[in-house]
Amino acid sequence: MSSDPRFSAFLKERIGLDVASVGEAIIERAVRQRCQSSQAQSTQDYWQLLQHSHDEQQALIEAVIVPETWFFRYPESFATLARLAQLRLAEIKQMRALRILSLPCSTGEEPYSIAMALLDAGLAPHQFKVQGMDVSPLSVERAQRGVYGKNSFRGADLEFRDRHFIEETGGYRIADRVREQVRLQVGNLLDPTLLANEPTYDFVFCRNLLIYFDQPTQKQVFDVLKELTHVDGVLFIGPAEGSLLGRHGMRSIGVPQSFAFSRHVEQAAPVFVPTPAPIPQRSTAPIPRKPRPFSTVSTVSTQVAPVKVPHSDAADLLGQIATLANEGKSAEARAACERYLSSHPPVAQVFYWLGLLSDVAGSALEAQGYYRKALYLEPQHAQALMHLAALLESQGDSAGARRLQARAARSERAHSESER
């Protein structure tokens, strides 16, 4: 099936999706699946059906959206929320419940994580309420069901599962005391009337969404988020989206790896000493040996001096880098990256880690250099492409960002097709 621009335009209009961010192959596959399911005889027949059926429109959106989330993703965000929530309650003299919004909430892992974090921090049920919202009725239905498999529980620290879930056949069911704190509903962030009659929120989570929009849609979404967030509120975003908010007057609150932003410059200084937390990781599988143009050693000869770590341990060292970064030990993770580069041929994943560590630390130019080094070694490194695209977009280079997004989409398409 050849690409039909009408379907991309439809998705752009309905949910703001930029085709370059996901790749044409994903949309083509979704259209093909829906043609088969609806028994449409041709693409044209399916297009006509799409124009007259709200259910089919939603079914196509569901086919394109592939939720990827888990409980306590980016843990420092939730730890920061818990501390800020206690401060916020004191500021308002506990005269009302805190209002927290999670959108898109996907299948519920994020809003339930918010509720668990606040309950664990000692907040009483009457002191906060969480609103979860997603454009996908199917995702909201799964969130309301509240039963999760092992893929929703990642990382070494799963004690929260024992406290807040009930094990049953087929997975783990969220406890009623957590469920009762969360209200879930279907909603579209591009709807100008979204939550128009609702009070603003003290805390808003909108993560890993802006990078899938073009610049005009990013601005439109940001304006909505700004209206939804209380003037003294905090907006939590994804790790690759911080630079996008800078040009809209948002400032980091100064807590590393929390990805938390305030509307006011005067609130940019941190109000407490944070504990670093995980950085999202990508596969740490080693990449075949290549030339070493970016080694941290100034002069590299073919006769390498004895190294501290045997070459056979390269994969273990890559794993150590990921572990350190995901424990929030940024300095140690960076040192491990340098140790790898001094002991082994450079690989794209190490430079990607260095770029992400620099990105999180606010060193945009340094991060950009590392991402480009990763792409020199592995031109189709999808995450390096997307993160570099976000940096270019924040610097006003929309054309360059779109080229990188298109490359990332092609990379993901090739990876997807190789697994079919």
Q: What is the pLDDT of residues 318-348, one digit of tens each?
A: 888 887 877 677 888 889 988 888 788 888 8
Identify the weakest region by mean pLDDT among 20-34, 173-187, 242-256, 314-328: 242-256
Long-range CB contacts for residues 14-19, cutoff 8 Å, separation at least 24:
14/57, 14/61, 14/188, 14/190, 15/61, 15/135, 15/188, 15/190, 16/189, 16/190, 16/212, 16/213, 16/217, 16/220, 16/221, 17/64, 17/212, 17/213, 18/212, 18/213, 18/214, 18/217, 18/405, 19/409
Judged against a pLDDT cut of 50, whether residue 285 lies above it is answered with no
Mean pLDDT of all residues in 253-259: 82
Q: Which range among 158-172, 339-353, 359-373 has the greatest average pLDDT?
A: 158-172
- The residues, ordered by sequence, that sit 6+ positions from 351 with a Cβ below 8 Å of its Cβ are 294, 370, 371, 373, 374, 377, 384
Judged against a pLDDT cut of 90, whether residue 156 lies above it is answered with no
Judged against a pLDDT cut of 70, whether residue 62 lies above it is answered with yes
pLDDT of residue 247: 66
pLDDT band at 282 (very low <50, low <70, confident <90, very high): very low
Identify the weakest region by mean pLDDT among 84-98, 261-275, 296-310, 391-405: 296-310
Give the residue with greater pLDDT, 199 vs 342: 199
pLDDT band at 102 (very low <50, low <70, confident <90, very high): very high
Query: What is the residue-averaged pLDDT of the chain?
Result: 79
How many angstroms separate the CA atoms of 178 and 133, rounded?
17
pLDDT of residue 278: 43
How many angstroms separate the CA atoms of 115 and 130, rounded?
7
Residue 335: count of CB within 10 angstroms of its CB: 13
Domains and CATH numbers, the chain: 5-64 (no CATH), 75-267 (3.40.50.150), 311-418 (1.25.40.10)
Count, residues in the chain: 420
CA 192 to chain centre: 24
Beta strand 201-205 pairing with 251-252: unpaired
DSSP, collapsed to helix, strand or coil, labels residue 204 as strand
- As beta bridge partners, residue 252 has 261
Judged against a pLDDT cut of 50, whether residue 266 lies above it is answered with no
